[in-house]
Amino acid sequence: MGRFRINRNNAKEQKQLLQAKLETTLVEDVNLLCKWSGNEKNYVIAELLRYALSQESEFQDYKRSLQQHGSAASLAPAITAEMPKRDSAADRKSQPVTAAR
């Protein structure tokens, strides 16, 4: 297994929101890693995911096979299509609150 390193992020890549519910101990470790490395949480999590994905050889083989067949461009729409659309905070505020009895 290779060594995990965190460097400063100078790239200005487009970002997308990714929400996940994680175990408390994992969140505490990520926060500690952020404090230790002096990096922002978004950057640390991106680097952890990038490292983990690069270490998974079966996933890398799958990704290469998709790229060879020209299917890589269709990955992003499929991922966002699976996620249900959530109401915005403004939409939730305008809806009447019903009390459960």
Give 9-49 pLDDT, tens digit per residue. Answer: 666 778 888 899 999 999 999 999 999 999 999 999 999 99
pLDDT reported for residue 4: 73
Q: Whose structure tokens read 């002096």?
A: 38
CA distance 53 to 62: 12
pLDDT reported for residue 86: 54
- Per the model's pLDDT, the better-predicted residue between 23 and 1 turns out to be 23
Environment class of 19 (CB within 10 Å of its CB; exposed 0-12, middle 13-18, buried 19+)? exposed
Contact 1/55 with Cβ under 8 angstroms?
Answer: yes
In tens, the pLDDT along 42-93 reads 999 999 999 999 999 999 999 999 998 876 555 555 555 454 555 555 555 5
pLDDT band at 101 (very low <50, low <70, confident <90, very high): very low
CA distance 85 to 92: 13
Structure-token pair, residue 34: 């952020």
